[in-house]
Structure 1
Amino acid sequence: MIRALLICAALCLPWAAAAQPAEPQGPAPSGVISITDDGATDLAILNRISSILAQLPDFDGLRVGVDAGIVTLRGEVAEQASVDRLKTLIARMDGVVAIEDSVRLSTDLATRLDSVRERFQARLTRMIAGLPFLLLGLAVGAVIVLGGGWLSRREGILSRLAPNPFIAGFLAQAIRLVAWIVALVVALDLMGARALLGTLLGAAGIFGLSLSFAARDTIEGVVATMLLSLRQPFNPNDLIEVNGLRGRVIRLTSRGTTLLTLDGNHIRIPNQIIYKAVLTNYTRNPERRFMVDLAIDPGADLGRARDLVLRSLRGMSFVLDRPEPVA
């Protein structure tokens, strides 16, 4: 029984090995394979590859052979990325049919350390060469931020652009935010970090999309603040009433409006509630009618009582003649 199992396993091993997918050999050469085997073509390919390797110090330990258009690479290298780059170059040559990669990664510690040292020196050299642009980007970014801060503190300019103090404060915050964004974009562009800039913009888009779902109420409050600032239903110190809450407006932020009630309490109402609710502004129109109910003796003369009330109202300095008081 055991012998039969061993025989079946031995018969299945070649089929299993044949069924395994071959490892990728790099980019496949493009073009039509010639039906003739030309030794001159192989020699030309070998000479061309040898001339390329002579110009690249990373491939000193490589040996190249060409037979019937098949390029064979042997030897050791410090990094696999170098071999991949070489195979990409060879695949572009005319007449190359296939590339046989027999290159091994070097296990010599000194060779690996030399490769790391060369990469570090190259990056350090690029960093030193880009230092002036780094300083220029930081300087220009700082100037833009300082200019935005200076403009946001110019109350005279903001008051001419937005007579409402609440809108002026909101505009000052927007100027500072735009200044920071412009400074970041300009600084990264001057530093040559366009790839980082694109990454940041892409991340900002994804973050903004995620934030729009997670902070829907906050975004709704910001939009309501912008709409309230544009429509201006009230000004600072106006006496308003919202959902039965009455008080004077003392502050408008990006999230809520703060009222000072007539008895001295502070009430903060979310801006989205104020935007959707019925709002009464008692200060916008200086003329306001008050309704007062008075109780009198049922046996008294109602006409004389009404005339007495009207004479008393006309004698008060804060009661207007037009519209006249009514009893």
Structure 2
Amino acid sequence: MVGLQVLGATALLGAVLGGAGVIGIAIGFGIRDTVDNYVSSLMLSLRQPFRANDHVVIEGNEGRVVRLTSRATILMTLDGNHLRIPNSTVFKAVILNYTRNPERRFDFDLGIDGADDPVDGMAVGLKAIRKLAFVLDAPPATAVIRDVGDSNIVLRFFGWLDQSRTDFLKGRSLALDAAKRALESAGFALPEPIYRLRFDGAPSWPTHAPATEPEKAQKKPRVLRPVELIEDDSSPDTHVAKLVEDERAETFGDDLLDRRRPIE
């Protein structure tokens, strides 16, 4: 720069500086994502928001954490596929961690007839839910009247379970089944939606007699399943967690997850 000024080549100096500025901007944009990922991986490794094999949801992507590399976070989805998420996305994302607190609340809705007593219906459903071995006593299962529809009253039931011992989806399904059966056994009707049709003018009905409907086949008696089988079936599915552990045991290399470091 000094030499060009001494020689009086100020025009050439301006061209050189302008070209260097353009090249610098181009390089900066080109490596921005790479630098962002590396800086994000450093921050994630210092204050780890998850551990290996944690069940998380990151930007709507659900799975178990396999490893944290210098560029991306590797998840194994619940159907056994690998998912790579850039660390810059992970660092800025809202992360939902299901493993951190094993206790998790489930809920479901059941509708009863509008003429039935909803308070009695809640009591019957809660009694059946609380009898299930996997439903926690504290906090206790509860119920509320969610809505009064056109043809039914919608009850919402809540319960808590321990995800380390009970699969969440299985537990919720079994609790829903238990409450439904209890309501039906107690005489509560679970009505279907009712629609009213209005005809303007006189309807024209067919003059011939309607065809005789075929006799309906007799319904087979419903066999109730033993409660013991239902409770045993609520155990969590550990297949994906085992796949993650096997892969981590066979993989050597870039992994920034360390249980000795603090966790957020």
Q: TM-score, normalised by structure 2?
A: 0.41
Instruction: Please say which structure displays the higher CA radius of gyration.
Output: 1
| Higher relative strand content | 2
TM-score, with structure 1 as normaliser: 0.34
Q: Give the helix-richer structure, 1 or 2.
A: 1
- With CA pairs under 8 Å and 6+ residues apart, which has the higher RCO, 1 or 2? 2
